Amino acid sequence: MNSEVNIKILLAARPQGFPEESDFEIVESEIPKVEEGHILVKTEYLSLDPYMRGRMNDVKSYAPSVEIGDVMVGGAVGRVVESRSPLFSVGETVEGRLGWQSYALFRWYWIEAD
């Protein structure tokens, strides 16, 4: 692919009150390898929504909590940069729960095209 890395923002601690910078950790990893039926999306826009604060808590709710050390959840818009799916072409704009990371790997049915 290229020499870029995948930058991820992980939940490092459960916030007490308003989230602070120390509640998150920024890490670099390899860009995921694309297998048959998957697409690789480069994130262009992240959504910041109130529900995300609730997902940082470790309490029973309508949606599961983000585990400590996991990529923060969130909706995003991105562009397909590699496709091994007949349903998506390189260059297509897509949206989905890509999480707070620069690249996300998805099976074709987890995401929607524009």
pLDDT score recorded for residue 41: 96
47 is a domain residue: yes
Q: Which long-range contacts (CB under 8 A, 24 or more apart) does 28-37 make?
A: 29/5, 30/5, 30/6, 31/1, 31/2, 31/4, 31/5, 31/6, 31/103, 32/6, 32/103, 32/104, 32/105, 34/82, 34/83, 34/84, 34/105, 35/84, 36/84, 37/84, 37/85, 37/107, 37/108
pLDDT at 26 over 70: yes
Report if residue 35 sits inside a domain. yes
Domains contained in the chain, number: 1
pLDDT, tens digit (0-9, with 9 covering 90-100), for 70-89: 999 999 999 999 999 999 99
User: Looking at the domain assignment, is residue 1 inside a domain?
Assistant: no
Residue 107 lies in a domain: yes
Q: What is the CATH number of the domain that holds 104?
A: 3.90.180.10
Residue 108: give the domain boundaries: 6-113
